[in-house]
């Protein structure tokens, strides 16, 4: 779909008038032309031919019993816009044929020609995906029954298609926050549209047990309820709670309904019952499942919980009973048993666990975890099911048939594939849709990270380290939607769409050379379908982003990801179509308040605005030297980000302004372009202790004259604090100097024990993060 660019007012009115007129005719009369083709995920091959096939309101379908469910699906889809289906055995509009030469069970061939629509597949799955492609070829208005014309037009075409990966998934955490049955169904519908076939349903965790288990009613009466919930980011101190009880669960009836809904869309639901960690809700309901005394409460904040299931016979019996009911509800061969983030401290200190380790001839608590998982695996295998677990199930020895879900990067995937076990990849840096999708300060609070649409699109599920044979074990990938910071359904959708579109193309198509521009233009028109389906998708595609550059001079360049023109102002007023059009980087010569946005034919695009405030100090223009170099992940926009007049983001340290160093002191040398009268030196240190970032212990400032004579020399101790940031100020008493040297004594080793990859360790190195250096 191409947009027409128009800048002048009157012309726009003419165009909108035409648009309304054409929409009017489109509604009443037959469509003159088929829809422009927008397919996501991209199909393997597509040829469009001359000619159009028209379907009228009585659509004849010729099919086989094998495809009955797909035909019923299509029938109800069309019926909502008054297209009625009747089955025939002779000449038809839509013909389904079985073709066993199509070797991929999810593959299909779709033809539109003078004989109508012909769908070939070897199984019902392939036929279903052909229908999803057909759905995308038909007008968006069919999605909500608002299509009013009496005909549907389809271009003649030939499509051959099949997925690259057999596991194409989305995960949803309903423990931290819970979402209505209708919402789950709506997501399943979008998944079907995107040809995703696995919904990983994270039903239990520390913050709430959400699946009814008849044998253990307290799991829901107690375990599904928490007294209150943390407000804001988990690293904020002091902690603030909302004081509101939160709870809920899915009844077994709800679950049956959802499973059936998924089945009709060729989606398998893999339920996850977390063990041995992330089990505080269950332990609160049944304290005998723990090795310790408690007291226990359903967790009210995020993060890793130290109380975990105790590997007693009571616990195993409990879990087997729970899994019996889970199995009866979910036909999936795979059952997810979690396995992640289970701190071993409690097992280390438990007399029972130590005795068990001895009696089973195990080495340590890691082997005890492996014993735990293997026992549950054997139980599930005896019921004809297989386990999937997060990559921690590799620690202490992998259960034999287990599939590993690799989330801490690719290491788990590589290790498991080398041993010969199947793998699903969900590396957090590419697949965690709880990460930020833009650097803008106006983003709703998220857990952290930075995962823009393009990064998801560029993701390759096959780690380079694997041989061809080993890569066969990579069954696919999934998006993970952890909902600590997503209390509302609409917020979940904001985080999921359009990034799930990118993931769907990765797992269905996995093209070597990816054309993001092409994808982006398809997303742009796909948005219209999502809007008809009432999805609250994010709009970053149109977002303007800025980048600070230093060549000879400081400039800010603006990028947008669409073809729409960007208009900007430098005085803080909102940009409009009369504002300057951006053509080249904007020079920064003094204080400035830059605002920019993209504009389409109907005006400023929602959520596209970019804003940057530059407040230059006497340090601006200085030559900056830093030793040692900042960590390569946190190097801002270069050394000059210390003196560019732009403050770092107060919430996020992973922006273009903060400079990060780990486990070291830092020396900064500012060389002003001429001697200046200096009253004060100011800066700000990040103190996000939850992320191991600590304000330094002390700072020394020295000022030298133009001829390198020491004029000023003073140190200051920084008092430890729980604030997110620590402001630092040193009076310089109006001396005239040219060289300012700042020695920063890093915090050093972490004072507390910390969790690293779910192990409690001591002695980790802290980080120092520097914000703007201001000289007044």
CB of 304 to ligand TNX, least distance (A): 8
Catalytic: 161? no
Closest approach of ligand TNX to the CB of residue 612, in Å: 29
Residue closer to ligand TNX, measured from CB, 174 or 544: 174
Residues making up the chain, counted from first to last: 776
Of 173, 206, 340, 341, catalytic: 341
CB of 341 to ligand TNX, least distance (A): 5
212 binds ligand TNX (CB under 6 A): no
Read out DSSP for 7-62?
-SHHHHHHHHHHHHHHHHHHHHS--SSPPPP--SSPPSEEEEEEEEEEE-SEEEEE
Cβ distance to ligand TNX smaller for residue 346 or 484? 484
Asked whether the beta carbons of 361 and 370 are under 8 A apart, the reply is no
Nearer to ligand TNX, 342 or 626 (CB): 342
**Residue 65 structure tokens:** 């019993």
From residue 607, alpha-carbon distances to 463, 602, 648 in Å are 35, 14, 21
Residues 390-409 that bind ligand TNX (CB under 6 A): 390, 407
Q: Which of 35, 212, 272, 341 binds ligand TNX (CB under 6 A)?
A: 341
- Binding to ligand TNX (CB under 6 A): which residues in 142-171? none
Minimum distance from residue 381 beta carbon to ligand TNX (Å): 22
Nearest-angstrom CA–CA distance, 688 and 767: 9
Q: Does 432 bind ligand TNX (CB under 6 A)?
A: yes
Q: Look at the block and give the residue holding tokens 């359904």.
A: 489
Told to judge if 625 belongs to the known catalytic residues of this protein, a careful annotator would answer: no
Q: What is the closest distance, in whole angstroms, from the C-beta atom of residue 200 to ligand TNX in the complex?
A: 11
Residue in 212, 305, 340, 395 binding ligand TNX, rule: CB under 6 A? 340
Decide if 50 is catalytic.
no
Choice between 35 and 341, CB closer to ligand TNX: 341
Which residues contact residue 773 at a Cβ distance below 8 angstroms, ignoring those fewer than 6 apart?
A: 619, 642, 643, 668, 670, 681, 682, 683, 742
Q: How far is the CB of 480 from ligand TNX (least distance, A)?
A: 6
CA separation for the pair 350, 292 (Å, rounded):
8
Pick between residue 483 and residue 521 the one whose CB is nearest to ligand TNX: 483
Q: Is 410 in the site for ligand TNX (CB under 6 A)?
A: no
In the window 453-492, what residues touch ligand TNX (CB under 6 A)?
482, 484
Number of residues that bind ligand TNX (CB under 6 A): 9
User: Measuring CA to CA, which residue among 73, 81, 19 is closest to residue 55?
Assistant: 81
E strand spans, 349-407: 386-390, 403-406
Question: Strand 268-275 to strand 334-338: parallel, antiparallel, or no bridges (unpaired)?
Answer: parallel
Minimum CB–partner distance for residue 22 and ligand TNX (Å): 46
Output DSSP code: residue 432: B
Cα 212 from Cα 177, distance rounded (Å) = 16
Residue 207 Cβ vs ligand TNX, minimum distance, rounded to whole Å: 9
Among 283, 433, 447, 495, interactor with ligand TNX by CB under 6 A = 447
List 106, 161, 173, 205, catalytic entry: 205
Nearest residue to 666 (alpha-carbon basis) of 628, 698, 619:
628
List b or e across 466-492, with b for residues whose CB sees 16 or more CB atoms inside 10 angstroms. beeebbebbbbbbbbbbbbbbbebebb
Residue from 496, 488, 494, 638 nearest 554 by CA = 638
Instruction: Closer to ligand TNX by CB, 335 or 554: give it.
Output: 335
User: For ligand TNX, what does the binding mask look like between residues 271 and 310, x meaning CB under 6 A?
Assistant: ----------------------------------------
Q: Which of 283, 248, 412 is nearest to 339 (CA)?
A: 412
Q: Which CB atom, from 457 or from 482, has the smaller least distance to ligand TNX?
A: 482
Spot the catalytic one: 171, 202, 278, 567: 278
- Closer of 432 and 542 to ligand TNX (Cβ): 432
Residue 726 forms beta bridges with which residues? 685
Q: At what angle do helices 68-79 and 124-137 cross, to 10 degrees?
A: 20
The nearest distance, CB 473 to ligand TNX, in angstroms, is 20
Of 324, 194, 322, 205, residue with least CA distance to 266: 194
| Nearest distance in Å: CB 395, ligand TNX | 13
State how far the Cα of 487 lies from the Cα of 229, in Å rounded to an integer.
10
Out of 346, 434, 612, 649, name the contact with ligand TNX by CB under 6 A.
Answer: 434
Q: Which is nearer to ligand TNX, 397 or 449 (CB)?
A: 449
Residue 270: CB minimum distance to ligand TNX, A? 14
CB-count exposure of residue 294 (10 Å: 0-12, 13-18, 19+): exposed
Residue 484 vs 493, nearer CB to ligand TNX: 484
635: number of Cβ within 10 Å:
17
Cα-based distances in Å from 99 to 35, 74, 93, 104, 124:
28, 20, 19, 11, 11
User: Checking DSSP bridges between strand 448-450 and strand 435-436, what pairing results, if any?
Assistant: parallel
> What SS3 state is found at 284?
helix
User: Strand, coil or helix: what is 99?
Assistant: coil
To ligand TNX, the closest distance from the beta carbon of 174 in angstroms equals 12
Look up residue 248 and give its DSSP letter.
-
Binding mask 358-397 for ligand TNX (x = CB under 6 A): --------------------------------x-------
HSE-up of residue 406 (Cα within 13 Å, Cβ side): 25
Q: Which is nearer to ligand TNX, 129 or 459 (CB)?
A: 459
CA distances from 737 to 484, 641, 645, 670, 680 (A): 50, 22, 20, 11, 12
CA distance 540 to 219: 40
| Of residues 213 and 447, the one with the C-beta less far from ligand TNX | 447
Task: Return the ∠ at Cα 155 (arms to 151 and 157), rounded to 5°.
Answer: 140
State the minimum distance, in angstroms, from the CB of residue 390 to ligand TNX.
4
Structure-token pair, residue 490: 């609409």
Contact map string, positions 184 to 203, toward ligand TNX, x by CB under 6 A = --------------------
Contact yes or no for 539/605 (Cβ under 8 A): yes
Task: Say which residues have a Cβ less than 8 Å from residue 112's Cβ, sequence separation at least 6.
Answer: 53, 118, 137, 154, 155, 156, 157
Pick the closer one to ligand TNX by CB: 435 or 595. Answer: 435
Who's near 462: CB < 8 A, 6+ residues apart?
471, 474, 510
Residues contributing to the site for ligand TNX (CB under 6 A): 340-341, 390, 407, 432, 434, 447, 482, 484
Active site amino acids: 205, 278, 341
């Amino acid at each position: 779909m191409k947009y027409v660019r128009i800048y002048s007012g009157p012309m726009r009115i003419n165009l909108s008038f035409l648009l309304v007129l054409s929409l009017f005719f489109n509604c009443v009369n037959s469509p003159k032309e088929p829809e422009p083709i927008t397919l996501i995920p991209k199909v393997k091959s597509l040829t469009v031919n001359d000619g159009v096939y028209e379907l009228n309101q009585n659509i004849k379908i010729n099919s086989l019993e094998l495809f009955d469910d797909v035909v019923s699906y299509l029938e109800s889809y069309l019926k909502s816009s008054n297209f009625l289906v009747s089955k025939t055995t002779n000449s038809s509009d839509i013909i389904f044929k079985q073709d066993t030469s199509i070797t991929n069970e999810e593959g299909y061939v779709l033809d539109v020609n003078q004989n109508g629509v012909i769908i070939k597949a070897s199984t019902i799955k392939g036929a279903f995906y052909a229908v999803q492609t057909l759905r995308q070829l038909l007008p968006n208005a069919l999605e909500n029954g608002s299509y009013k014309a009496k005909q549907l037009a389809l271009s003649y075409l030939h499509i051959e298609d099949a997925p690259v990966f057999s596991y194409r998934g989305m995960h949803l955490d309903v423990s931290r926050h819970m979402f209505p049955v209708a919402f789950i169904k709506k997501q399943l519908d979008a998944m079907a549209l995107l040809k995703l076939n696995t919904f990983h349903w994270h039903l239990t965790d520390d913050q709430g047990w959400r699946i009814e288990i008849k044998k253990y009613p307290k799991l829901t009466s107690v375990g599904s309820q928490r007294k209150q919930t943390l407000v804001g980011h988990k690293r904020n101190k002091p902690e603030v709670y909302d004081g509101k009880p939160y709870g809920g669960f899915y009844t077994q009836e709800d679950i049956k309904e959802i499973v059936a809904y998924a089945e009709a869309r060729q989606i398998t639901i893999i339920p996850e019952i977390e063990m041995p960690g992330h089990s505080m809700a269950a332990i609160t309901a049944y304290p005998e499942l723990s090795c310790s005394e408690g007291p226990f409460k359903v967790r009210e904040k995020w993060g890793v919980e130290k109380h975990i299931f105790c590997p007693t016979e009571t616990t195993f019996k409990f879990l087997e009973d729970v899994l019996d009911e889970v199995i009866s509800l979910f036909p999936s061969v795979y059952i997810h048993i979690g396995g992640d983030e289970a701190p071993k401290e409690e097992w280390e200190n438990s007399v029972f666990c130590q005795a068990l380790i001895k009696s089973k001839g195990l080495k340590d608590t890691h082997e005890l975890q492996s014993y735990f998982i293997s026992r549950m695996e054997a139980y599930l295998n005896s019921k004809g099911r297989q386990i999937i677990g997060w990559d921690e199930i590799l620690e202490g020895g992998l259960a034999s048939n287990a599939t590993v879900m690799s989330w801490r990067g690719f290491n788990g995937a590589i290790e498991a594939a080398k041993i010969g076990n199947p793998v699903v990849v969900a590396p957090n840096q590419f697949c965690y849709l709880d990460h930020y999708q833009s650097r803008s300060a106006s983003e709703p609070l998220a857990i952290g990270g930075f995962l823009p649409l393009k990064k998801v699109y560029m993701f390759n599920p096959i780690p380079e380290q694997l041989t061809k044979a080993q890569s066969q074990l990579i069954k696919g990938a999934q998006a993970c939607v952890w909902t600590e910071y997503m209390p509302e359904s609409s917020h979940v959708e904001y985080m999921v769409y359009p990034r799930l579109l990118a993931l769907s193309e990765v797992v269905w198509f996995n093209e070597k050379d990816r054309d993001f521009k092409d994808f982006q233009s398809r997303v742009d028109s796909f948005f219209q379908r999502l809007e008809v389906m009432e999805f609250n998708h994010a709009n970053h595609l149109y977002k303007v982003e800025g980048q600070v550059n230093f060549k000879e001079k400081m400039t800010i360049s603006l990028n947008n990801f669409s073809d729409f023109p960007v208009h900007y102002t430098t005085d803080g007023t909102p940009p409009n179509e009369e504002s300057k059009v951006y053509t080249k980087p904007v020079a920064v010569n003094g204080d400035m308040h830059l605002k920019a946005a993209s504009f389409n034919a109907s005006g400023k695009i929602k959520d596209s605005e970019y804003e940057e405030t530059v407040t230059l100090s006497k340090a601006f223009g200085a030559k900056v030297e830093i030793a040692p170099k900042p960590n390569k992940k946190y190097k801002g926009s270069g050394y000059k980000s210390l003196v560019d007049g732009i403050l770092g983001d107060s919430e996020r340290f992973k922006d273009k302004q903060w400079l990060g160093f780990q486990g070291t002191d830092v020396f900064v040398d500012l060389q002003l372009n001429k001697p200046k009268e200096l009253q004060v030196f100011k800066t700000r240190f990040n103190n996000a202790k939850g992320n191991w970032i600590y304000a330094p212990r002390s700072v020394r400032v020295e000022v030298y004259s133009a001829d390198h004579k020491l004029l000023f020399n003073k140190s200051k101790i920084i008092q430890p604090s729980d604030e997110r940031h620590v402001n630092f100020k040193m009076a310089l008493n109006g001396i005239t100097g040219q060289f300012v040297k700042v020695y920063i004594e890093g915090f050093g080793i972490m004072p507390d024990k910390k969790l690293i990859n779910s192990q409690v360790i001591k002695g980790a190195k802290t980080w120092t993060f520097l914000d703007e250096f201001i000289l007044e």
